[in-house]
């Protein structure tokens, strides 16, 4: 099972929007099976990163703690959504 962490500043607002778009994008590509999603804030990220395949963050900066990081800003702006989904698929080896 792959673990995708979706993080934003508070763990609520933009990460919810991003998570919904990630699920939709992965489902449309037939890649939604066997994935655990974790929604969190950047401050809680260090405690949840173990076993993660990829981190998607809507905030700039931050450390991936050895896990690949994908910028999720395109999921919020609506610009480049397909590229973000493609990056998630590539970096998580889905």
DSSP 4: E
48 is catalytic: no
Chain mean position to CA 5: 5
Question: Using an 8 Å Cβ cutoff, are 6 and 36 in contact?
Answer: no
Please, what are the domains in the chain? 2-92 (3.40.50.2300)
Of these residues, 4, 5, 6, 8, which one is catalytic? 8
Residues 6+ apart with CB under 8 A from 84: 25, 56, 70, 71, 72, 74, 75
Mean pLDDT on 63-89: 95
Number of H helices, E strands in the chain: 4, 4
Name residue, tokens 């990630």: 22
pLDDT tens profile 11-68? 889 999 999 999 999 999 999 999 999 999 999 999 999 999 999 999 876 678 899 9
Mean pLDDT on 63-92: 95
pTM: 0.94
């Amino acid at each position: 099972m792959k673990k995708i962490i979706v993080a934003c500043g508070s763990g609520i607002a933009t990460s919810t929007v991003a998570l919904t778009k990630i699920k939709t994008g992965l489902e449309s590509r037939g890649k939604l099976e066997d994935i655990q999603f974790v929604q969190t804030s950047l401050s809680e990220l260090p405690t949840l990163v173990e076993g993660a395949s990829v981190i998607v963050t809507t905030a700039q900066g931050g450390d991936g703690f050895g896990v690949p990081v994908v910028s999720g800003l395109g999921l919020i702006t609506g610009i480049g959504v397909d590229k973000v989904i493609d990056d998630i698929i590539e970096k998580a080896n889905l």
